[in-house]
Structure formats: C-alpha cells, structure tokens
Amino acid sequence: MAKVLVATVKPFAPAAVGNIKEIVEKAGYEFALLEKYADQSDFIKAVSDADALIIRSDKATREVIEAGKNLKIIIRAGAGYDNIDLEAATEKGIVAMNTPGQNSNAVAELALGMMVYFARNCFNGKAGTELKGKKLGIHAYGNVGRYVANIAKGFGMEIYAFDPYIPKENIEKDGVHSVGSVEELYSKCQYVSLHIPANEETKNSINYELLSKMPKGAVLVNTARKEVVCEKSLMTMFAERDDFGYISDIAPDCMDEIAEKYEGRYFFTPKKMGAQTAEANINAGIAAANQIVNYLEKGDKTFQVNK
C-alpha cells in the first residue's frame, strides 16, 4: 500500500487535512501526518517510507529526498517551489509538482489588506491616506498578480503590470495597463506589489536602481519571497527617502535595524500568512492529494516543475 505523508511545519487548516486524508484513503493509500515538527531530522525520519509527499514551505532538501527511499512524487501545496531541491528530485526520478492558483486569492487579499493597514498608519488613530486613485504596479502577472489587480480595481486604484512572459493583450483585457519595462513600472507606481518567484535570476533583483525610481510616498509590497529584495538597497532607500515604506509577508533579515531606526515605515507579518486561510489550505490540499492519485494511478504529470 502506497503511503502519502503530509509534512507541514505550519499546519494546514484541520478541514484541509481531513480532505486530503479522505482522498488518499479512498484511493486505497495510507495517510500519515507530521505537523509542527521541531527539527528537520523529524521530517527526514518520517519521509523514509513514504511514496508520496505533500509539503508547504517545508524544505525538501537533498537529504530529505535521499532519505525518501520509496519517494515517487513531491507536491508543494502552493505556488513557489524554491524549497524543493529539484536537481536531487530529478536525479532520483521523483516528480515534483506545485498546485498553481489554489492559494492565490488568499495571498492577494493579504497584499491589499496590508496596503490598507499601512495606508491608515497601522490603525494608530492618525489620519492616513486612501488607495483610491493611487497607481499600483504589479510586478509579474501570474495567478496572484491577476487576483491583486481584480481586488485593487474595487478600491479604485489605477493598475499597471509588467510581465515579460505574458502577452500584453492578456494583461490589458483585464483593464490593467501593460508596461514595456520593469523600470517603467517602478517609475510610474507609488505602490509596487511583488509576485515574482525566487530563483537565481530574481534573487536580490529588487534593488536600489529600481526602488529609487518610485514616486513620492513609495510603498513596496512583498507577498512573494524575501530573497527577491536586495536588503542593502532596502536600507539605502529607508535612509535616503523618509517617504519610503516596506510591507512584507515575512520580515527581512535586516528587520531589527529597520525596527530600530524607521518606526511607522514598515509592517512585517510575524509568520508567512499569505496562504494561511482555510479556503487556500483546502484548495491546495485537495489539489495536491488529487495530483498524487492521478500520478500514481495514471502517470498524469500535469503541473510537474522538474522536467
């Protein structure tokens, strides 16, 4: 009997776990759950007899992958798969997949929620500003970017997007202005919301050269990955521009310095919260379980990310 392990430091909502278990057991597989594990060694131990693995931001390192002697498939229940050692998975003939789109609305709602919170001075009682009429730049127009655009429209924002991989027409049909370069996006928009993945090309790519182009009252919104923002540039921006703010779903490594020097100009969630809703957990969990069953039963490799 194939064994499906759900290993999540940050647990799914209980309903999502129930849904995954039901799908797995209905398919005739064994279900195993490892939540809130204290140490990576617990993960390594648990994966040793699993055929399939469902994770969130948990680190599927080479060590984990090599410990999973029976592993055939790893599903990152979510969008970003920078936490999986794809090379190690490919070497071992393990299929790695994500579940694109399943948690996008949750992340988009958080991005707008943080923007409102920050525009209102973190609800400290002082007069803030409104989002209506402000220019919002969406950096990468994938699933989350599209949801952000749609919600921001409701706020009456003027929306721009840059994505070299998406045809201009696809962006403009959503009532979003497509810009021709990343520099143009940052030059135009007071708010810029990041939706790029973390990879060798994008890490540290949000740098001083881009950020310094932003107009007065610049706010950088990060619900993507902390690694894409160059922290040295961030600190220079804070120092040079007292109108610059940074709001992020996970604190940067330089958080303490920012907190010490730049009160009121930042907001960081204490834990990555973007996908942390019951709905997102259920959507991503069900998709992950179904993708495992479809792969083990029919060899369906839709959403494979290590080709």
Q: Would you give the distance in Å from CA 10 to the centre of its chain?
A: 14
188 belongs to the binding site for ligand 3PG (CB under 6 A): no
Q: Please, which of residues 93-112 interact with ligand 3PG by CB under 6 A?
A: 103
Residue 137 or 274 with smaller CB distance to ligand 3PG:
274
**Strand, helix or coil for residue 295:** helix
Q: Out of 134, 188, 226, 272, point to the residue binding ligand 3PG (CB under 6 A).
A: 272
Residues 34, 7: Cα–Cα separation, whole Å: 5
34 belongs to the binding site for ligand 3PG (CB under 6 A): no
**Residue 4 Cβ, how far from ligand 3PG at the closest point, in Å?**
17
Q: Out of 31, 37, 42, 57, point to the residue binding ligand 3PG (CB under 6 A).
A: 57
Number of residues forming the site for ligand 3PG (CB under 6 A): 11
274 belongs to the binding site for ligand 3PG (CB under 6 A): yes
**Residue 89 Cβ, how far from ligand 3PG at the closest point, in Å?**
17
**Residue 80 Cβ, how far from ligand 3PG at the closest point, in Å?**
3
293 belongs to the binding site for ligand 3PG (CB under 6 A): no
Residues 118, 121: Cα–Cα separation, whole Å: 5
Alpha helices in 100-207 (DSSP H): 104-119, 143-154, 168-172, 182-188
- Find out whether 195 and 171 touch, Cβ atoms under 8 Å: no
Q: Out of 13, 66, 72, 80, point to the residue binding ligand 3PG (CB under 6 A).
A: 80
User: Which residue has tokens 């789109």?
Assistant: 101
Residues 220, 186: Cα–Cα separation, whole Å: 10
Q: Which tokens belong to 173?
A: 């049909």
Nearest residue to ligand 3PG on Cβ basis: 78
Number of neighbouring beta carbons within 10 Å of residue 108: 25
Residues 158, 214: Cα–Cα separation, whole Å: 15
Q: Out of 20, 74, 79, 219, point to the residue binding ligand 3PG (CB under 6 A).
A: 79
Binding positions for ligand 3PG, rule: CB under 6 A: 10, 56-57, 78-80, 103, 272, 274-276
